[in-house]
Amino acid sequence: MPENTQAMSAGEPAKALWMSTLAFTICFAVWTIFAIIGVRIKQDLSLTEAQFGLLVGTPILTGSLVRIVLGVWTTRYGGRLVYTLTMLAAAVATFLLSYATTYPQMLLAGLGVGLAGGSFAVGVAYISPFFPAQKQGTALGIFGAGNVGAAVTKFAAPFVLLAWGWQAVAQIWAAALVVMAIVFWFTTTDDPAYRARREKGAAPRSLAQEFAPLKNAQVWRFCLYYFFAFGGFVALSLWLPRYLVGVYGFDLAVAGMIAAAYSIPGSIFRAFGGVLSDRKGARSVMYWMFGVSAVSTLILSLPAGVTPTVFIVVVFVLGFVMSLGKAAVYKHIPVYYPDSVGAVGGVVGMVGGLGGFVLPIAFGLLKDATGLWSSCFLLLFAVVAVSLIWMHVSIRQMERRSLSVSAVAAT
């Protein structure tokens, strides 16, 4: 157990974890707000498909890029302060969105809305110091289950939109962020790592020190893992409605409900992935995730012969193992880089978020180029294959180095 956790009261870790998870759920609901209100905005402004795609993707892109900065700031200034200010800033942008009347104004507001997605890097760096290494996988898995906020928006926002308009959705979601920011500030404490540095009067680490781990290829392996596990999951949740309509002729409403149902267990089971990572080891979870994902994406990439029932079952299995993998990736970070969780976690989160932005675009380009809807799963299979091979080769190299060191020590 880290030495700076000794001064904590018994309830501090649990309170920090559950309040952070609730805050992240609301942040994630805001981050994906354009998935619902964007449809109405597209109609109101007569946007092209490309314009609509950029509008929906802008918060995803900015929320991913800002994770590096927010992660480092959390290490320097404390997660309690940075988390609160991030929520308030996102709330202001979301509220101003309701007054936007032109497409450029919408995009500008979307940049601010994207801050809500950056809260993930803050939460990871804030929560980790509250827990010993053997419990960090579970804690971060529970926190990551806040991804379910996307389903909250998909289920609740349409009712608000139909009753009062899309502007009301933005205003209510902004109000929820403000309330959550206030509650978070008054119910949590600074994380023990930040408290220890503040009490010692230690100067913040330089940026060079913060980002020194990025020289390691291992960090970029984690980025690729998360690009698939998180980015692929987000991409599929966005792509599924179009896929089900285009391939199987589903009604749009039914396809949307299936996509929402895909998002919920895929988010909640992230907590289970954290528990498994603590008990069985994150490496074992990663092997299972990539193995099952390889088989699943290979089946789904078949251009014909997959019935709707088989497709839905297999894609839900894929979403399930992805949720386990998301937790396993982040279990590695505080173990290997305990002093750089903010920077490393921010970079890994950024690349994963970029996957959610880039992959849907790649899916569309592949569909246009090949005429095959299933080409998106062939791309995911390629990402899985590269990830699995790179992971296995790296692990074998680590094992050989370990054996060599042991042999030298024994002589």
Q: Specify whether 190 is located in the same domain as 222.
A: no
Q: Specify whether 121 is located in the same domain as 219.
A: no
Confidence of residue 16 (pLDDT cuts 50, 70, 90): very high
Q: Specify whether 49 is located in the same domain as 126.
A: yes
Q: What is the domain count for the chain?
A: 2
Q: Are 131 and 153 in contact (CB under 8 A)?
A: no
Q: Specify whether 125 is located in the same domain as 230.
A: no
Reported as a single tens digit per residue, the pLDDT across 212-270 is 888 888 899 999 999 999 899 888 887 887 788 888 888 867 777 787 788 777 778 88
Q: Judge whether 8 lies within some domain.
A: no
Reported as a single tens digit per residue, the pLDDT across 292-351 is 999 999 999 987 668 899 999 999 999 999 989 988 998 888 888 887 877 888 889 889
pLDDT value, residue 152: 84
Q: Specify whether 78 is located in the same domain as 117.
A: yes
Question: Domain end: 170, 194, 218, which one?
Answer: 194
Q: Specify whether 230 is located in the same domain as 181.
A: no
Q: Judge whether 205 lies within some domain.
A: no
Question: Domain end: 194, 220, 237, which one?
Answer: 194
Q: Specify whether 393 is located in the same domain as 321.
A: yes
CATH number at residue 21: 1.20.1250.20
pLDDT value, residue 4: 45
**What range defines the domain where residue 273 resides?**
210-411
Reported as a single tens digit per residue, the pLDDT across 154-210 is 778 888 888 898 999 999 999 999 999 999 999 999 988 878 877 776 666 666 777
Q: Judge whether 221 lies within some domain.
A: yes
Q: Specify whether 134 is located in the same domain as 88.
A: yes
Q: Judge whether 5 lies within some domain.
A: no
Q: Judge whether 244 lies within some domain.
A: yes
Q: Judge whether 6 lies within some domain.
A: no
Q: Specify whether 254 is located in the same domain as 352.
A: yes
Q: What letter would DSSP give residue 411? A: -
43-53 average pLDDT score: 81
Q: Judge whether 131 lies within some domain.
A: yes
Question: Domain end: 194, 222, 243, which one?
Answer: 194
Q: Judge whether 366 lies within some domain.
A: yes
DSSP 41-95: HHHHHT--HHHHHHHHHHHHHHHHHTHHHHHHHHHHH-HHHHHHHHHHHHHHHHH
DSSP 344-409: HHHHHHHHHHHHHHHHHHHHHHHHHHH--TTHHHHHHHHHHHHHHHHHHHHHHHHHHHHHHHHHHH
CB-based contacts of 291: which residues, under 8 Å, 6+ apart? 388
Q: Specify whether 371 is located in the same domain as 262.
A: yes
Q: Specify whether 247 is located in the same domain as 309.
A: yes
